[in-house]
């Protein structure tokens, strides 16, 4: 197998110096060079838009200088090493070149084939190491920033979801008590709509902070996109052409289908906003095999079979500074009031929490391409059918529920919901109170409905202690978020039942019936509301 030639661009306005440089490169005896020659800075800048391993730049370029060209090329995004060539062994020129970003400096009169080859090879190696270090440092800064913001966001979301539970649930309860034509129903509907938008915002906060509780299952990405395609065409509008290219033999992946839909929707809406005058949006799915070379350049991903989701637009594109910030929470290029700055941050969080990575390529005036890599599921895994669960005729019940919630407003609300649906309620405001209430209650308790995050004793700890005393009692956890590793693991393995706040009367009643009616050997899945 022949070695791959090193792609080299020479910027030199003197033809004789070009011939001399080419001769030296050919005689080095170690490295094969694929040499391209241009005579001036403008041609060089245009040529450097295509990949080159290294660029040799003469110091004198007519009215321009090689130092100026190096600065402009780096500013426009060229990432390869640039080496300055000069006929003067001047220390000031050396300093100028290094300050401009040059990887090295060579004096023409001192050149030999071996020296030139060695300097080029070492410059490429140093530049690769520098880029890898910069990438690692940026990844570390991003991770630290996301951890800090994520911890704050998760705490805010927890309290906010308690408040939203009250707003949404009482709106629904009040609306049910009004006549169909009552004008108050419209007012309550507006309150409910605002509450739902706020709930969606808190889910975004949890998603990008990696605090969302996911429901992973084996799914077919093509099927997910097919279900969304009609809605996506309405979302993007008539002036944007949607093209879909689906691999017919796509591997299945292990993800939360609801969160996967959110990824597709957010990337699609982002692409639409980048094409205000219309354009083409292309969504592609394919199988890819990631090797060690890819993994080395993309920390956070493991080698092996992956499924690739590509979303490409022909929009306005982004400069490099914008690309470096697009996944930052609350960063947006839209006008004030037109975006929260959480769309792509949410996508980033969901993808990484699902074990994948996301990469972006963009060029001003050309468009943007997002590539999302998901690890493929194990061979033979059964894909979940995308069907809706059958509706129950009645959500009422007469069982006894031990309800534990430390927030006074939420506790009063949940009690009102349970009573409305016919349940007998034993109420407690903490884990200790729940243990006392269980001991004093002589009858059978069918269900423990408990918040996860409570002072002194978590919902998980309470359930474990009560399970010894009442082994037949089932448990349903509820929370605005949870960083409880045991609960999170149990949710992902479908070994516990969990409903995420903000709760609503219908959703809570459905989940309670699902848990109570499930056979003892069948564990119900987690539910997000």
Q: Give 389 or 32, the one with higher predicted confidence.
A: 32
Q: Distance between CA 66 and CA 162 in Å, rounded?
A: 62
In the 3-class helix/strand/coil scheme, how is 124-166 assigned residue by residue?
HHHHHHHHHHHHHHHHHHHHHHHHHHHHHHHHHHHHHHHHHHH
Mean pLDDT of 166-180: 83
Mean model confidence pLDDT for the chain? 82
Backbone phi, then psi, for 463, in 5-degree steps? -60, -40
Q: Distance between CA 260 and CA 265 in Å, rounded?
A: 9
Handedness of CA 167, 173, 175, 178 (dihedral sign): negative
Pick from 212, 461, 221: which is nearest to 346 by CA? 212
Query: 167-171, 211-215, 428-432: which has the minimum mean pLDDT?
Result: 211-215
Judge whether residue 323 has pLDDT over 90: no
Q: Coil, strand or helix: which one is 292?
A: helix
Residue 334: per-residue pLDDT: 65
Query: 172-181, 220-229, 236-245, 335-344: which has the minimum mean pLDDT?
Result: 335-344
Q: Distance between CA 125 and CA 392 in Å, rounded?
A: 65
**CATH code linked to domain 217-375:** 3.30.565.10
Residue 280: per-residue pLDDT: 93
Residue 497: per-residue pLDDT: 86
Q: What is the pTM of this model?
A: 0.50
Residue 529: per-residue pLDDT: 47
Mean pLDDT of 421-429: 94
Residue 251: per-residue pLDDT: 92
Q: Distance between CA 31 and CA 139 in Å, rounded?
A: 34
Mean pLDDT of 121-135: 84
Q: Coil, strand or helix: which one is 408?
A: helix
Return all residues near 139 (Cβ < 8 A) that are at least 6 apart.
Answer: 299, 300
Question: What is the third-level CATH fold of 6-111?
Answer: Rossmann fold (3.40.50)
Return all residues near 286 (Cβ < 8 A) that are at least 6 apart.
Answer: 247, 250, 307, 308, 310
Cα Rg of the chain, angstroms: 30
Residue 146: per-residue pLDDT: 63
Question: Could you tell me if 419 and 371 are in contact, meaning their C-beta atoms sit under 8 angstroms apart?
Answer: no
Judge whether residue 447 has pLDDT over 90: yes
Residues in the chain: 529
Percent of the chain whose predicted confidence (pLDDT) is above 90: 31
Give me the DSSP letters along 11-53.
Answer: E-S-HHHHHHHHHHHHTSSS--EEEEEESSHHHHHHHTTS--S
Residue 523: per-residue pLDDT: 44
Q: Give 22 or 489, the one with higher predicted confidence.
A: 22
Mean pLDDT of 336-356: 74
Return all residues near 288 (Cβ < 8 A) that are at least 6 apart.
Answer: 305, 306, 307, 308, 373
Judge whether residue 338 has pLDDT over 80: no
Judge whether residue 446 has pLDDT over 80: yes
pLDDT digits (tens, 9 = 90+) for 376-422: 987 555 555 544 444 444 788 899 999 999 989 999 999 999 999 99
pLDDT band at 344 (very low <50, low <70, confident <90, very high): confident
For 447: left if phi > 0, alpha if psi spans -120 to 50, otherwise beta; the answer is beta
Q: Which two tokens stand for residue 137?
A: 């440092």
Q: Which CATH number fits domain 400-528: 3.40.50.2300, 3.30.200.20, 3.30.2310.20, 3.40.50.10420?
A: 3.40.50.2300
Mean pLDDT of 236-262: 88
Question: Could you tell me if 207 and 240 are in contact, meaning their C-beta atoms sit under 8 angstroms apart?
Answer: no
Residue 524: per-residue pLDDT: 44
Which uninterrupted H or E stretch holds 194?
helix 184-208
C-alpha to C-alpha distances, 439 to 251, 411, 436, 461, 469, nearest whole angstrom: 52, 20, 5, 17, 9
Q: Distance between CA 227 and CA 354 in Å, rounded?
A: 21
Residue 390: per-residue pLDDT: 44
Pick from 273, 194, 289, 179: which is nearest to 235 by CA? 273
Q: Distance between CA 287 and CA 386 in Å, rounded?
A: 22
CA angle 266, 324, 97 (to 5 degrees): 160
């Amino acid at each position: 197998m022949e070695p791959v030639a090193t792609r080299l661009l020479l910027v030199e306005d003197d033809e004789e110096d070009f011939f001399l440089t080419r001769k030296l490169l050919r005689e080095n005896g170690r490295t094969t060079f694929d040499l391209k020659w241009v005579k001036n800075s403008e041609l060089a800048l245009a040529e450097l838009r295509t990949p080159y391993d290294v660029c040799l730049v003469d110091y004198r370029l007519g009215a321009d200088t090689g130092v100026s060209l190096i600065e402009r090329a780096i500013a426009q995004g060229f990432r390869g090493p640039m080496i300055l060539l000069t006929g003067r062994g001047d220390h000031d020129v050396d300093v100028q070149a290094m300050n401009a970003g040059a990887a090295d400096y060579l004096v023409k009169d001192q050149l030999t084939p071996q020296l030139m080859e060695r300097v080029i090879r070492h410059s490429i190696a140093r530049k690769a190491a520098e880029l890898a270090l910069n990438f690692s440092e940026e990844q570390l800064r991003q991770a630290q920033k996301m951890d800090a913001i994520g911890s704050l966001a998760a705490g805010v979301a927890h309290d906010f979801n308690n408040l939203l539970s009250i707003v949404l649930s009482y709106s629904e309860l009040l609306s049910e008590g009004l006549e169909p034509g009552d004008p108050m129903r419209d007012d309550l509907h507006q309150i409910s709509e605002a509450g739902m938008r706020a709930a969606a915002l808190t889910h975004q906060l949890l998603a990008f902070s990696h605090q969302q509780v996911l429901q992973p299952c084996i799914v077919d990405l093509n099927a997910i996109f097919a279900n969304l395609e009609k809605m996506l065409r309405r979302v993007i509008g008539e002036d944007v052409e949607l093209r879909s290219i689906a691999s017919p033999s796509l591997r299945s992946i292990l993800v939360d289908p609801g969160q996967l839909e959110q990824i597709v929707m957010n990337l699609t809406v982002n692409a639409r906003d980048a094409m205000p005058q219309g354009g083409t949006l292309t969504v592609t799915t394919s199988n890819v095999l990631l090797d060690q070379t890819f993994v080395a350049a993309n920390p956070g991903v493991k080698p092996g079979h992956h499924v690739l989701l590509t979303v490409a637009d022909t929009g306005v594109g982004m400069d490099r500074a914008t690309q470096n910030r697009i996944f930052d929470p609350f960063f947006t290029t839209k006008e004030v009031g037109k975006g929260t700055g959480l769309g792509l941050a949410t996508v980033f969080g969901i993808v990484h929490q699902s074990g994948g990575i996301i990469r972006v390529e963009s060029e001003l005036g050309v468009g943007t391409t997002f590539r999302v890599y998901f690890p493929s599921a194990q061979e033979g895994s059964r894909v979940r059918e995308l069907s809706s669960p059958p509706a129950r005729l009645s959500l009422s019940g007469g069982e006894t529920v031990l309800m534990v919630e430390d927030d006074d407003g939420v506790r009063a609300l949940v009690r009102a919901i349970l009573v409305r649906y016919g349940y007998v309620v034993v109420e407690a405001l903490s884990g200790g109170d729940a243990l006392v209430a269980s001991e004093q209650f002589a009858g059978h308790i069918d269900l423990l409905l408990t918040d996860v995050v409570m002072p002194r004793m978590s919902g998980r700890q309470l359930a474990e202690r009560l399970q010894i005393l009442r082994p037949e009692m089932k448990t349903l956890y509820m929370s605005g978020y949870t960083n409880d590793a045991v609960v999170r693991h149990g949710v992902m393995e479908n070994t516990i039942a969990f409903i995420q706040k903000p709760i609503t009367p219908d959703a809570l009643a459905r989940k309670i019936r699902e848990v109570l009616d499930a056979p003892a050997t069948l564990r119900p899945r987690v539910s997000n509301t």
